[in-house]
Amino acid sequence: MNKVQQIWIKSMDKVMLNCDTATLLITKGEFTKLSCVEKLQLKMHLMGCKFCRRFKQQSEFISYAIRQADRIPEKGNLRLYLTDEQRERLKKKIGS
Amino acid sequence: MNNSVSDTKYKLHPEGWVDAHGDYLYNFAWSRVQSKETAEDLVQETFISALKGSVSFRGESSELTWLLSILKRKIIDFYRKKSTKKEFAAAHFSKPFQDEDGMQGHWIMERAPKDWQQETHAPTRQDEFQDIMALCLSLLPEKWRAVFVLKVMEEINSDEVCKEIGCSASNLWVILHRARLKLRECIEIKWLK
């Protein structure tokens, strides 16, 4: 990479953020309101960065999958079940 | 007791709790603590607290919703207790970003997000995804996992998360950021292999 490219990347980082900051803002933005400047910077960064676009999609997918997993499922659709032994232990504790 | 009122309300049936809700509560707890033993303990504590507090059950929500709210509190307590212990130390994780001058903060090519399109659209792989996610969550350092579970899974507000486990607000985002980077990378490695 030559000097001109380096200077170009550095000055663009100030305006459009680097990927480290951009992904931090993606995470932050999911839970709080970003400032107008942050929003704009992130938007511009995402337009030019396919990896951060992927990061955003994948983060959303992971959050979605987590919520899916929490839905009260049909019987027989759980990830794991109490063993008979555990069941007995619990019942004894509640005294039923 | 006035029957016309109590009929419309939910009632508690402790004798049926284990069979009716045990499996679900156990799954819920396990997905957050990644240990079967701890999950069973939490479910047990939930039932015991519920029995003690059954007078406070107003019948406005279903039995399961009510038990779940108690379990959620138990999970927060579990992480709060952990956070006061020593092993709750910060972890070593090198971010997937470059360090050298000029390209600082840009993705390291080999560790940049790969395309998941094919996998996320394959319905047969959804179950596998849940398993991988549980595994990757269990591999997160304790403090990161606590933040991730409380903030992302329980959607508790930031102030409260910080209060429970002891961290500053800006620190919270840094931890969550790192936790997500690590989790994403772990899922990708295990899923796309």
**Where exactly are the structural domains of chain A?**
3-71
Residue B103 · residue B179 · CB < 8 Å: no
Mean pLDDT, chain B, rounded, equals: 85
Q: Which residues does chain A have within 8 Å of residue B137's beta carbon, measured at their own beta carbons?
A: none
Is position B88 within any domain?
no
Q: What is the pLDDT, as a whole number, of residue A19?
A: 95
> A96 pLDDT exceeds 70?
no
Q: What is the Cβ-side half-sphere exposure of residue B96, based on CA atoms within 13 angstroms?
A: 23
What's the complex ipTM?
A: 0.81
Q: Which residues does chain A have within 8 Å of residue B44's beta carbon, measured at their own beta carbons?
A: 89-90, 93
> B133 pLDDT exceeds 60?
yes
Same domain, B119 and B75: no
> B121 pLDDT exceeds 90?
no
Q: What is the pLDDT, as a whole number, of residue B4?
A: 42
Q: Which residues does chain A have within 8 Å of residue B144's beta carbon, measured at their own beta carbons?
A: none
Q: What is the pLDDT, as a whole number, of residue B75?
A: 92
Give CA separation, A84 vs A63, A90, A91, B19, B129, in Å. 33, 10, 10, 10, 27
For an interface test with A, the pick among B99, B152, B171 (most A C-beta atoms closer than 10 Å) comes out as B152
Question: What are the helix (H) ranges across chain B?
Answer: 3-6, 17-33, 36-52, 63-83, 117-120, 126-138, 142-148, 158-165, 169-191
For residue B88, the distance in angstroms to the closest alpha carbon of chain A comes to 23
Q: What is the pLDDT, as a whole number, of residue B85?
A: 67
Residue B25 · residue B71 · CB < 8 Å: yes
Higher pLDDT among residues B64 and B121, named by residue: B64
Q: Which domain holds residue B23?
A: 3-83
Residue A33 · residue B182 · CB < 8 Å: no
Which residues lie closer than 8 Å to B112 by C-beta, 6 or more apart?
Answer: A51, A54, B96
Confidence class for position A40, pLDDT limits 50, 70, 90 = very high
In 3-state terms, what secondary structure has residue B151?
A: helix
Q: Give the one of B47, B152, B181 whose C-beta lies nearest to A23's C-beta.
A: B181
Mean pLDDT over B3-32 rounds to 80
DSSP B107: B
- B4-30 in b/e form (b: 16+ CB < 10 A) is eeeeeebeeeeeebbeebbbbbbbbbb
> A49 pLDDT exceeds 80?
yes
Q: What is the pLDDT, as a whole number, of residue A76?
A: 61
Same domain, B121 and B77: no
Q: Give the one of B16, B18, B114 whose C-beta lies nearest to A87's C-beta.
A: B18
Domain boundary among B33, B48, B83: B83
As for how many domains chain B has, the answer is 2
Q: Which residues does chain B have within 8 Å of residue A23's beta carbon, measured at their own beta carbons?
A: 177, 180-181
Q: What is the pLDDT, as a whole number, of residue B92?
A: 73
A-B interface: how many C-beta pairs under 8 angstroms?
A: 131
A58/B184 touch (CB, cutoff 8 Å), yes or no: yes
Mean pLDDT over A39-67 rounds to 93
DSSP B112: S
> B101 pLDDT exceeds 90?
no
Q: Which residues does chain B have within 8 Å of residue A68's beta carbon, measured at their own beta carbons?
A: 126
Is position B92 within any domain?
no
Render pLDDT for B46-69 as a digit per residue (tens, 0 to 9). Answer: 999 999 988 888 887 888 989 999
Same domain, B131 and B74: no
